[in-house]
């Protein structure tokens, strides 16, 4: 059954790298606001060390993670095995948003493929992680990436993406400010 650990082992790093999807959860501090849970895909997650991870965040319909992490830094990642050996892995940590204007940008962006529509990199120091059985997670087959997000970003172009982020990504659904690139 489940274990609580303080670092990502080589075995768990391999598990993370084998997953086609991961989930990111964040929440604002105010009780009247909303918890956000976002699925992520593509080749956008990296284990930088046994206690540090990062993911490349592409322009999308909302920017909740950025707003929440900027407000309070709390972040949780979840990985589920939908095939082979059942396992659920949660990483609990404190994150920061790295924008292209940050001094950390060249170091962080170097870990990822070149995607159209890059918005930011979210880096998290992992405080602890938990495994659980995953016995109730269904078996599913991976069919491939959709490609629609990158085609959408390409169709917008740089100026269109900047405008989209300004209009759609500068605040969370609860009105918290979210850092964006102009």
Q: What pLDDT, on a 0 to 100 scale, did the predictor assign at position 181?
A: 80
Q: Is this prediction's pTM over 0.85?
A: yes
The CATH code for residues 3-135+144-168 is: 2.30.110.10
What is the model's pLDDT at position 2?
Answer: 84
Q: So what's the pLDDT on residue 1?
A: 62
Asked if 91 contacts 8 with a C-beta cutoff of 8 angstroms, the reply is yes
Alpha helices in the chain (DSSP H): 10-18, 64-72, 105-109, 148-168
The domain limits of the chain are: 3-135+144-168
Per the CB < 8 A criterion, the answer to whether 38 and 27 are in contact is: no
Q: Say what the pLDDT of residue 157 is.
A: 95
pLDDT by residue for the chain (182 residues), tens digit each?
A: 689 999 999 999 999 999 999 999 999 999 999 999 999 999 999 999 999 999 999 999 999 999 999 999 999 999 999 998 899 999 999 999 999 999 999 999 999 999 999 999 999 999 999 999 999 999 999 999 999 999 999 999 999 999 999 999 999 999 999 998 87
Enumerate the β-bridge partners of residue 98.
121
What is the pLDDT at residue 109? 98
């Amino acid at each position: 059954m489940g274990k609580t650990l303080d670092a990502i082992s080589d075995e768990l790093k391999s598990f993370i790298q084998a997953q086609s999807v991961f989930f990111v959860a964040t929440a604002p501090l105010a009780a009247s606001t909303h918890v956000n849970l976002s699925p992520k895909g593509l080749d956008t997650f990296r284990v930088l060390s046994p206690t540090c991870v990062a993911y490349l965040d592409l322009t999308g319909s909302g920017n909740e993670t950025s707003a929440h992490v900027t407000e309070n830094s709390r972040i949780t990642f979840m990985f589920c095995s939908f095939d082979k050996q059942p396992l659920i892995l949660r990483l609990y940590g404190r994150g920061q948003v790295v924008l292209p204007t940050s001094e950390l940008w060249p170091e962080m962006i170097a870990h990822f493929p070149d995607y159209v529509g890059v918005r930011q990199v979210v880096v998290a120091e992992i405080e602890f992680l938990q495994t659980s059985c995953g016995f109730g997670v269904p078996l599913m087959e991976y069919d491939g990436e959709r490609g629609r997000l990158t085609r959408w970003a390409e169709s917008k172009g740089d100026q269109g993406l900047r405008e989209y982020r300004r209009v759609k990504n500068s605040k969370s659904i609860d009105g918290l400010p979210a850092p964006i690139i102009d």
